[in-house]
Amino acid sequence: MNSVAVQADPIPDTVLLRFAGHNFEPLPSGALFWRARETLLVADLHLEKMASFARRGQMLPPYDTAMTLTRLETDLRRTGAKRLIALGDSFHRPDSAGLLTPADRMRLDSMTDAVECIWLSGNHDPVPHAIGGTCLPELELEGLFLTHEPKKGQTGLVAGHLHPAARIAMDGRTTRKPCFVHDSRLLILPAYGSSTGALNILSQAFFGLFHWPALEVTMLGSDRAYPVPVKRLVGG
């Protein structure tokens, strides 16, 4: 058993995100810790994204996988989570799991040996991969429906895919950061991967998904996540 999952350290200044009758702790990395179930939720790791670009001749440093795995190891150790659930697009391409460097593959193997890993399929990785753990198209758990792509009409839906970000205006300045966003039915996690973009939640891709009077936004900061007033949201 690897030592990735150990006794949880205190998480200072953590806000609670209440959704579908459950309490979650949003982390500044973009992970969501479900303490009552010792479960860490992440979305859109996009492992091997830069490596896939580099193999096609684009001059990009292929170190994103190592950076993302370091972040994930830190969150597992920090929280003491016994289970990891990845909400799809864990790999940037269907064949990316087979293209990992030996060092990155060893790190993933250590992780899957240490904690229960559940990998949900996404549009970038629709088929099961050879990494340890369990590959599923979607998962129902404790009244939650965990899947990759958000959709309307289902209560308790937790998804990723859209890489949400919030831009807020305050005191004449604006700040734009990835965010968690949810209402009474739908929760979307920010992208966790180190080389992923983000899409403003006021953009057209989010239209019709949320009931705005119930909307809550939790933005990622440098050392914590924090709620932001919806009235401060701006486009761009």
Confidence of residue 94 (pLDDT cuts 50, 70, 90): confident
- Comparing CA positions, the residue from 27, 26, 42, 34 lying closest to residue 142 is 34
Name the token pair of 65.
């996988």
- Comparing CA positions, the residue from 161, 164, 188, 180 lying closest to residue 219 is 180
Q: Whole-model pTM?
A: 0.90
Walk me through the domains of the chain, giving residue ranges and CATH numbers: 17-232 (3.60.21)
pLDDT tens, position by position, 31-62:
999 999 999 999 999 998 655 555 555 555 55
- For residue 59, how far is the Cα from the chain centroid? 27
